[in-house]
């Protein structure tokens, strides 16, 4: 089936994300995916539908598909997707492998039942790549296939569950090594409590086709 966009929503559940942060992050997706601005963006495309998949990730051996590829074409379908997410408990595992997540996401895009002019891996997280191969190599491989990677790095002031100080360089790490491809961008989030509004802004921006917007000017 043809869609306007194939979108991977990749969510950090590494051990640096505590229970409060995990809940705030997941609730952000539950709120953002049914937000009127996001629904309007989905409906505005030539086909009026996108395909999405929701993946939790941690170390190089941990990528979990929470909600498999689903068509979103309006509020009803978005609500059904978020209800599926809401029923699933949040996982947790050691380490952070954005590189393995990117490799896994590329396979999900290449082997699904949908086709689109654009494919995006949307990565959120509170720490840099710490496991697996170099993240820039995974990024470059994805970009070579025409896939864009956008970032939603989260800067938290909360110590992680083991008492270690939070990462302070996560935004720069995403900017230098994670995002890439046509029209790639990142939106930094200051504290998990501000995750939902930042996610709405990000989803609207990436769902709207930049080429189509330019042609409308």
**For each of the chain's 217 residues, which pLDDT tens digit applies?**
999 999 999 999 988 777 777 888 899 999 999 999 999 999 999 999 999 999 999 999 999 999 999 999 999 999 999 999 999 988 888 889 999 999 999 999 999 999 999 999 999 988 899 999 999 999 999 999 999 999 999 877 655 555 544 456 899 999 999 999 999 999 988 887 888 999 999 999 999 987 654 332 2
pLDDT at 157: 67
- Helices first, then strands: H and E counts in the chain: 8, 6
Question: Residue 168's CB: how many other CB atoms inside 10 A?
Answer: 10
pLDDT at 161: 55
pLDDT at 162: 55
pLDDT at 168: 60
Q: Show the DSSP H helices in the chain as ranges.
A: 19-32, 36-43, 75-87, 98-110, 135-144, 170-173, 195-207, 210-216
pTM score of the predicted model? 0.91
pLDDT at 217: 25
């Amino acid at each position: 089936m043809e869609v306007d966009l194939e979108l991977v929503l990749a969510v950090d559940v590494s051990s640096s994300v505590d229970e409060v942060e995990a809940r705030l992050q997941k609730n952000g997706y539950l709120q953002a995916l049914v937000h009127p601005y996001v629904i309007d963006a989905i409906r505005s495309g030539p086909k009026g539908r996108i395909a999405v998949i929701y993946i939790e990730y941690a170390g190089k051996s941990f990528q979990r598909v929470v909600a498999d590829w689903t068509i979103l074409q309006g509020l009803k379908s978005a609500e059904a997707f978020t209800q599926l997410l809401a029923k699933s408990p949040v996982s947790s595992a050691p380490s952070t492998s954005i590189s393995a997540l990117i490799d896994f996401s590329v396979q999900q895009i290449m082997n699904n039942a949908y086709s689109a002019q654009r494919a995006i891996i949307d990565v959120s997280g509170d720490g840099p790549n710490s496991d697996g191969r170099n993240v820039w190599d995974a990024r470059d491989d994805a970009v070579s296939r025409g896939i864009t990677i956008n970032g939603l790095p989260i800067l938290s002031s909360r110590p992680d569950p083991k008492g270690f100080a939070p990462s302070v360089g996560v935004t720069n790490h995403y900017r230098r090594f994670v995002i890439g491809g046509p029209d790639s961008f990142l939106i930094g989030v200051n504290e998990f409590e501000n995750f939902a509004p930042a996610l709405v802004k990000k989803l609207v921006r990436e769902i709207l086709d930049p080429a189509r917007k330019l042609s409308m000017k």
